[in-house]
Structure 1
Amino acid sequence: MSWDLPTPFTIDLQVAAEDIDGLGHANNAVYVSWLERCAWRHSQSLGLDLTEYRRLDRAMAVLRHEIDYLASAYEEDELQVATWIVESDHRLRMTRRFQLIRPSDATTLLRAQTTFVCIELSSGKPKRMPQEFLDGYGPALVEPFPLEL
């Protein structure tokens, strides 16, 4: 696979009938749900699941999505989505990059970047990342390369 960055965290997906919109391809909102699923699974693999978020009274909440839709996905397409943590201020913000590929023809369907902010769950207000976030997310941080479109 031709990933934009080294050592991605990846998940496999298959486009389902309910993912298809009136134009005959996967709806753009479905792509966002795939990005979220990949980010959550990566967080879980780093030991930071919803139970841990609740225990710490902290969460990483989406502040901004930037998405470039490059090609369409169709029903029954087998896809892979990758994510990398590419930036962190080690206080409040963290940025992930994503790439969605259809392996059958090696086409990149999407590139995206999401900025997260650490919040206190009980208040919804921005709060500094706890040490557990630094310990979990920190080792996954990769040096980003320029985004190619």
Structure 2
Amino acid sequence: MAVNHQWDVIAPFHIDVTVAASDIDRLDHVNNAAYLRFMERAAWAHTEALGLTWETYRALDAACVVRRHEIDYLAAAHIDQPLRIATWIESNDQRLAMWRRFQIRRDLTGATIFRAATQYVTITLSNGRPRRMPREFAEAYRVHDG
């Protein structure tokens, strides 16, 4: 099987992390839950880069919450390894839901070690009920062709 040294999309948003001791489990590799934390960090950094902040969410009384994760762990990561976590909006129905993709690569080799897709739904922040996506979300979380 060939090693993927490319992103799955052209020019995704990305952040860099270095695997910390707190990310390591008893098997001496990054714990499954740590990948979810990496995804959350990348998603929030991307959201803020798109111009939406927590203050925006509060002012709109709206938030995007996870409904579903689909995760493929392709190879292990270890302590002190630099990783690059990429994310992008794959689809957005402009009403309630969107899908965000993630890809994690080893920074030194470029090898892809992880892929995931997360479905988010829009809720009213003050009561947790589903709601129509505010215009600001529909505009910021649109699909980019690259």
Q: TM-score range by the shorter chain?
A: over 0.9
1:13-92 aligned at under 5 Å gives the runs: 13-92=17-96
Q: Which amino acid aligns with 1:19?
A: D
Give distance in 2, aligned partners of 1:128 and 1:90: 8
Residue-pair matches, total: 142
Contact 1:86–1:143 under 8 Å retained in 2: no
Contact 1:63–1:117 under 8 Å retained in 2: yes
1:68-147 aligned at under 5 Å gives the runs: 68-138=72-142, 141-142=143-144
Q: TM (normalized to structure 1)?
A: 0.92
Deviations 1:57-93 (CA, angstroms, capped at 9, x unpaired): 0001000000000000100000000001010100000
Give distance in 2, aligned partners of 1:18 and 1:33: 11
Contact 1:100–1:110 under 8 Å retained in 2: yes
Give distance in 2, aligned partners of 1:56 and 1:7: 30
Give distance in 2, aligned partners of 1:96 and 1:133: 13
Identical aligned residues as a percent: 50
Cα RMSD (Å) of the superposition?
A: 1.3
Consecutive unaligned residues in structure 2, runs of 5 or more: none
Q: TM (normalized to structure 2)?
A: 0.94
